């Protein structure tokens, strides 16, 4: 299989890449930091990926998205799976006073994915097969005061992916929305860890399985589906009084 991983230096994405590498798939990596990218590329090559290619780009540079898809497809000789993993957890209090900050969070977490997938979707639609898997978040399921800028960007992403799934289904293209709960990665390194935190390996295994089973939406670890079910069922007049 030929796989393009965007945001390949993400802790979660690296572990997914290793799983694909162990099955000797061909992988194209994209991320913005060249040094990190090279160390990931070397690592997954030794884990068994063959061949491994990469490209350095900032996903906020939308103009480069068509080139990325083109180059990955050329290097791999086609594209079967696209995994989108890049993202950023903004500083919520800062977003409340600085619109630029919130706009930036939307740009990287939502608009950059919208742009990339708008380009990629045509190619997948034309070839009539393949998987588009995107890491969103449980934070997108309901707005909470502690994290609603990130949450609303991920929420927009969820709806966008629902629409895309609906559009591409008749063409045999699989669209997967991945909703992790708390994961112990650099993104959350400043947070105090508790039992709810999962390790990136187990999240990666869930993602790998969901891609293979062609699931529509996967919560990882699984119990978040029920936590979020509870949170979504809570009536707004109660929810607005919570401190979540």
Ligand X SMILES: NC(=O)c1ccc[n+]([C@@H]2O[C@H](COP(=O)([O-])OP(=O)(O)OC[C@H]3O[C@@H](n4cnc5c(N)ncnc54)[C@H](OP(=O)(O)O)[C@@H]3O)[C@@H](O)[C@H]2O)c1
CA distances from 223 to 149, 177, 204, 211 (A): 24, 16, 16, 19
39's contact among another protein, ligand X, none, with CB below 5 to 8 A by partner kind, is: another protein
Q: Is 36 in the site for another protein (CB under 8 A)?
A: yes
Compute the least distance from the CB of residue 89 to ligand X, in Å: 6
Q: Is 42 in the site for another protein (CB under 8 A)?
A: yes
| Dist CA 240 CA 244 (whole Å) | 9
Q: Is 56 in the site for another protein (CB under 8 A)?
A: no
Compute the least distance from the CB of residue 195 to another protein, in Å: 8
Which residues share a beta bridge with 26? 2
| Dist CA 151 CA 109 (whole Å) | 10
Which residues share a beta bridge with 1? none
Indicate the burial class of 105 (C-beta count within 10 angstroms; 0-12, 13-18, 19 or more).
Answer: buried
Compute the least distance from the CB of residue 122 to ligand X, in Å: 22
Alpha helices (H) in 98-199, listed in sequence order = 99-106, 112-127, 148-168
135's contact among another protein, ligand X, none, with CB below 5 to 8 A by partner kind, is: ligand X
58's contact among another protein, ligand X, none, with CB below 5 to 8 A by partner kind, is: ligand X
Among 118, 119, 184, 217, binds another protein (CB under 8 A): 184
| Dist CA 149 CA 4 (whole Å) | 28
Compute the least distance from the CB of residue 47 to another protein, in Å: 7
Q: Is 11 in the site for another protein (CB under 8 A)?
A: yes
Region from 31-39, 60-68, 133-141, 161-169 binding another protein, contact rule CB under 8 A? 31-39
Region from 35-43, 132-140, 222-230, 234-242 binding another protein, contact rule CB under 8 A? 35-43
| Dist CA 173 CA 176 (whole Å) | 10
Paired tokens of 170: 């008749």
Region from 36-44, 113-121, 126-134, 159-167 binding another protein, contact rule CB under 8 A? 36-44
180's contact among another protein, ligand X, none, with CB below 5 to 8 A by partner kind, is: ligand X
* Closest CB to another protein among residues 47, 119: 47
φ/ψ of 135, rounded to 5, equals -85, 110
Interface positions with ligand X (CB under 6 A):
7, 9-12, 31-33, 36, 58-60, 85-88, 108, 135, 137, 180, 182-183, 185-188
Closest CA relative to residue 4, chosen from 39, 61, 49: 49
User: Tell me, what DSSP letter sits at residue 219?
Assistant: E
């Amino acid at each position: 299989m030929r796989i393009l991983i965007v945001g390949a230096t993400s802790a979660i994405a690296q572990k997914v890449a290793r799983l694909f590498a162990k099955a000797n798939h061909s992988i194209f990596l994209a991320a913005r930091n060249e040094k990190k990218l090279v160390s990931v590329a070397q690592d997954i090559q030794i884990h068994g990926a063959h061949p491994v290619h990469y490209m350095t780009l900032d996903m906020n540079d939308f103009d480069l998205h068509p080139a990325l898809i083109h180059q990955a497809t050329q290097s791999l000789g086609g594209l079967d799976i696209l995994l989108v993993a890049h993202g950023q957890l903004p500083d919520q209090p800062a977003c409340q006073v600085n619109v630029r900050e919130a706009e930036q969070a939307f740009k990287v977490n939502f608009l950059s994915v919208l742009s990339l997938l708008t380009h990629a979707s045509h190619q997948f639609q034309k070839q009539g097969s393949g998987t588009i898997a995107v890491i969103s978040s449980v934070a997108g399921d309901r707005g909470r005061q502690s994290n609603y800028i990130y949450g609303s960007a991920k929420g927009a992403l969820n709806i966008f992916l629902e629409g895309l799934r609906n559009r591409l289904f008749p063409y045999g293209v699989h669209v997967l929305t991945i909703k992790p709960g708390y994961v112990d990665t650099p993104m959350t390194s400043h947070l105090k860890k508790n039992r709810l935190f999962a390790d990136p390996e187990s999240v990666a295994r869930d993602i790998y399985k969901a891609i293979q089973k062609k699931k529509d939406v996967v919560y990882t670890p699984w119990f978040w589906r029920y936590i979020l079910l509870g949170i979504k069922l809570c009536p707004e007049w109660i929810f607005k009084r919570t401190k979540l």
